[in-house]
Amino acid sequence: MTKGSWRDGRSTSQGYFREVSRKRSTRDDSGPDPTQEEESIGIEEVVEAIGKLKSGKAPGICGVGAEMLKAGGIVAAEWLHRVIELAWAKGKVVEDWNKAVIVPLHKKAVT
């Protein structure tokens, strides 16, 4: 897995890590392949991704919204980077990353 695949249109960490997990589970799991070096996500990528988040959207299940990450500046970016690096190294993600809150919004009928 290269850095490029993180940027190639995968807008959610859930989808990205699901793909990484799927690829890892389909290969021979006799251990890491020393011929394939996996690059981790750089802090610059995290800062760039935070900058591209749309403000005014509902936060995820964890309650952290785009505004909070943007307002946190480099401190928030470094914290998020450490979380991503840990998930990358362990090959596992926080369970909440696999959850979503769906709220139906009913429109009034036009009569």
- Is residue 76, in this structure, part of any structural domain at all? yes
Q: What angle do CA 14, 100, 73 make, to 5 degrees?
A: 65
- Is residue 109, in this structure, part of any structural domain at all? no
- Is residue 46, in this structure, part of any structural domain at all? yes
Could you tell me the residue range of the domain that residue 64 belongs to?
3-98
Nearest to 80 by CA among 69, 67, 65, 92: 69
When pLDDT is cut at 50, 70 and 90, the band that residue 15 belongs to is: low
- Is residue 108, in this structure, part of any structural domain at all? no
What's the CA gap between 8 and 45, in Å, rounded? 12
Tens digits of per-residue pLDDT, 93-104?
888 878 887 888
Domain count, the chain: 1
Taking the whole predicted model, whether its pTM rises above 0.85 is answered as: no
- Is residue 51, in this structure, part of any structural domain at all? yes
- Higher pLDDT: 10 or 20? It is 20
